[in-house]
Amino acid sequence: MSRYLLNKFLYTVDRDPDLVERYREEPREMVTWWEAERANAVLNCHTGEASTWLRFTDEERAALITHDHVKLFELGAHPFLTLTLFIAMFERDSTEPLEYQKSYGARLAHFSMPYPDIAT
């Protein structure tokens, strides 16, 4: 398991409107593409440097593909990174102010301290 890789995915996708839309519309294809093409790129580096060992676990990949923010939190993804990306993807479907944010919080309400470790 790599909390770093989960958070890197959430961070990089959230900062690119085209990737946000791809992730919303075609999550399986997007996650597969990102893992193959971007997972091993050095974050914020444009010189072609890359590693070769970073991969999602099956559990991480499944949670990303199904947009399961509760499972992602259990796996150690930072809740603010998940929230900001998922707001960009799903808030437009809401009819009430803060409807998505309230739903997001309600789905995490069963957690009590200590919360899952989100340190990378």
For 64-105, what is each residue's pLDDT tens digit?
A: 999 999 999 889 898 889 999 999 999 989 888 888 888 888
Torsion of CA 76, 109, 94, 64, to 10 degrees: 20
Q: Quick one: which H or E segment has residue 37?
A: helix 27-37
pLDDT of residue 10: 96
Is residue 107 pLDDT above 90, yes or no?
no
Backbone dihedral angles phi then psi of residue 41, each to the nearest 5 degrees? -75, 145
State the pTM of this model: 0.81
pLDDT of residue 106: 87
pLDDT of residue 48: 54
Among 37, 33, 42, which Cα is nearest to 8's?
Answer: 42
Is residue 24 pLDDT above 90, yes or no?
yes
